[in-house]
Amino acid sequence: MGKSDKTFNVLVVHGPNLNMLGKREPELYGTMTLAEIDLKLKELGKTLGLEVDTFQSNSEGDIIIKIQEAVEAYNGLIINPAA
């Protein structure tokens, strides 16, 4: 994967329905929202010297497009596909 500057860039891709975290069945999935998770990922990234971007979609096609675009823009990719 891609970028050659000094900052190591990572994209975290979240899959379908993860936008419902903290809203849907909190007794089962918890109360933390995806926005809170993304914020924690970015904070951890800073601690580790990484720049972290996040993306979530309920459309598998949009996820595939984002992953393909990431090849040129990011040094690493993490996929959280959901279930």
Domain ranges of the chain: 8-80
> Do residues 1 and 79 lie in contact, with contact meaning Cβ atoms separated by under 8 Å?
no
**21, 33 Cβ separation under 8 angstroms:** yes
Confidence of residue 29 (pLDDT cuts 50, 70, 90): confident
Beta strand residue intervals within 1-83, DSSP E = 8-14, 50-56, 76-80
Q: How far apart are the first and last CA of the chain?
A: 26
Average of per-residue pLDDT across 30-37: 96
73: which 2 tokens? 């823009």
pTM value is 0.87
* Percent of residues, the chain, with pLDDT higher than 90: 83
> 8 with 77: CB under 8 angstroms?
no
Domain 8-80 in this protein, CATH class: alpha beta
